[in-house]
Structure 1
Amino acid sequence: MEYSQDIKNRLRRLEGQVRGVLRMMEEEKHCKDVVTQLSAIRSAVDRSIGLIVAKNLEACIREANKKGTNAEEAIQEAVQMLVKSR
Structure 2
Amino acid sequence: MTTEADGYVTKKQITTRLKRSAGQLDGVLRMMAEDRPCDEVLVQLSAVKSSVDKAMKLVIARNINNCVDNMAAADVQNLEQSLDLLLKTK
TM-score normalised according to structure 1 size: 0.68
The aligned length equals 69
**How many Å apart are 1:31 and its aligned residue?**
0.4
In 1, Cα distance between equivalents of 2:43 and 2:16: 22
Structure 1 position 10 matched with structure 2 position 17: yes
Partner of 2:33 in structure 1?
A: 26
Q: Unaligned regions of 5+ residues in structure 2, if any?
A: 3-9, 72-78
CA offsets per residue over residues 27-86 of structure 1, 9 Å max, x none? 000000000000011111111111110111011111xx39xxxxxxxx7xxx7xx68xx5
- Provide the identity percentage: 42
- 3-state SS, counterpart of residue 68 of structure 2: helix
Corresponding residue number in structure 1 for 2:62:
55
Bigger Rg, structure 1 or 2: 1
Structure (1/2) with the larger helix percentage = 1
